[in-house]
Structure 1
Amino acid sequence: MFRMILTHGLIAGVVVGVPLFMMGTLMADNPPTGAVGMAIGYLTMLIAFTTIFVAIKRRRDVELGGVIRFWPALGMGLAIALVGSLCYILAWEAVLAVNGGDFIASMSEQMVAERQAAGASAAEIAELRTQMAEMQRIYTNSFARFAITFVEVFPVGLLVSLLSAALLRNPRFLPLRTA
């Protein structure tokens, strides 16, 4: 089972990490922002974590004779999500290393420019600059940055794990078809 967790977790990590790295390095000057950037990111995460469903189904059908309980399925899904999330964190750290680690400063300037273009008052802009300065201070701490990045990706894996475990505990849901 450890091999299956590692294999599917690394596949998920590559599926989510490579696009992150490519967008973070190739599109560093003009990254997708707002709803478009979030949609691309979370859709990629969702696609990557479909490996959780595949792995639980394979374990249920091939190794366990068509039956798996909820908790073991959830545990397996969470382990795969953890491996995939760690790959995502490593990809993000690689993006920061390639780009000089100044992500928050450039994001701050972009957010300020967007707010100014939307007609925000000087007080609102000053408050945004203060918040972003605090975020930049927090982001310089490696552990805090890892935690922030982990919280970005792991909930998607948690959701897919819960859904997969709930569906696949029923042996009549997508049963193995033998010829």
Structure 2
Amino acid sequence: MKKTILTYGLIGGVISTIGYVITLLTGQENMKSAMIIGFASMFVAFSLIFVAIKSYRDKQAGGVVSFGNAFKIGALMSLITSSIYVIVWLVALYNFFPDFAQHYADMQIEDMRQAGESIEKINLQIAENEKMVEAYKNPIVVILYTYMEILPIGLLFSLIAAAILRKKSKNNTDELKSWLKSQE
């Protein structure tokens, strides 16, 4: 199980960072496009959870995996994938996007102006953005924000995959049916 988790978690981590790589290589100035690419790479990375659980179930566990073990595989893979994502983001942020927080805040305000939001709402958002830009100067906050961005998606994929791919032993089912009949 450990090898499956580590292998697929590392592959997922590499895939999850493709959005950063594409953004860096293309000089992507459009933050919305970069975000779409980034989230798409997360979804592809976390799709490996299904592959890993099925591989473990079919090749290592004799065709049987409980919901708990399946979720454990997915959750630990998510943690590895998310950690790689966070580390790469820290490197990218401090080396290539040092003004990211301010740029993101400015984009939000511009979007609100284009949408015709009231001055009051825009001013409230500006105040919130100033707090966020200040908070983003702290690496611990950056780490926590980044984990909050990716880890819940991985955990959701883990829950779904565990629910879909769990498979009980037929022997246990047959034994349970026999026992229930004997109790009648």
**TM-score bin, normalised by smaller chain:** 0.7 to 0.9
Say if 2:81 is the partner of 1:81: no
Question: Taking structure 1 as the reference length, what is the TM-score of the superposition?
Answer: 0.84
| Alignment counterpart, residue 103 of structure 1, candidates 91, 100, 105 | 100
How many correspondences in the alignment? 169
Shift of 1:6: 1.2
Which residue identity lines up with residue 96 of structure 2 in the other structure? N
| Alignment counterpart, residue 166 of structure 1, candidates 163, 172, 178 | 163
For structure 2, which runs of at least 5 residues remain unmatched after alignment? 170-184
2:140 alignment partner in structure 1: 143
Distance 1:164 1:117, change over 3 A: closer
Cα RMSD of the aligned pairs, angstroms, is 2.1
1:4 alignment partner in structure 2: 4
Q: Distance in 1 between matches of 2:71 and 2:97?
A: 38
Checking the alignment, whether the CA contact within 8 Å between 2:19 and 2:37 is kept in structure 1 is no
Shift of 1:105: 0.6
Q: Distance in 1 between matches of 2:72 and 2:83?
A: 17
Checking the alignment, whether the CA contact within 8 Å between 1:8 and 1:80 is kept in structure 2 is yes
Shift of 1:94: 1.9
Question: Quick check: 6-15 or 100-109, which moved more?
Answer: 100-109
Say if 2:13 is the partner of 1:16: no
Q: Distance in 2 between matches of 1:122 and 1:19?
A: 34
Could you say which structure has the larger radius of gyration?
A: 2
For structure 1, which runs of at least 5 residues remain unmatched after alignment? 173-179
Which residue identity lines up with residue 127 of structure 2 in the other structure? T
Shift of 1:117: 2.9
Shift of 1:11: 0.4
Q: What whole-Å deviation, never above 9, does each CA across 1:79-99 have from its counterpart, x for those lacking one? A: 000000011111211221222
2:37 alignment partner in structure 1: 40
Distance 1:28 1:129, change over 3 A: farther
Question: Taking structure 2 as the reference length, what is the TM-score of the superposition?
Answer: 0.82
Identical amino acids, percent of aligned pairs: 33
Question: Quick check: 95-104 or 159-168, which moved more?
Answer: 95-104
Shift of 1:161: 0.8
Q: What whole-Å deviation, never above 9, does each CA across 1:139-177 have from its counterpart, x for those lacking one? A: 1221121111111111111111111111111269xxxxx
Q: Distance in 2 between matches of 1:29 and 1:58?
A: 40
**Greater RCO structure (CA 8 Å; 6+ sep):** 1
Query: Which consecutive aligned stretches of 4+ in structure 1 deviate over 6 angstroms post-superposition?
Result: none
2:29 alignment partner in structure 1: 29
Q: What whole-Å deviation, never above 9, does each CA across 1:21-60 have from its counterpart, x for those lacking one? A: 33256435332x2xx5554333321111111111111111
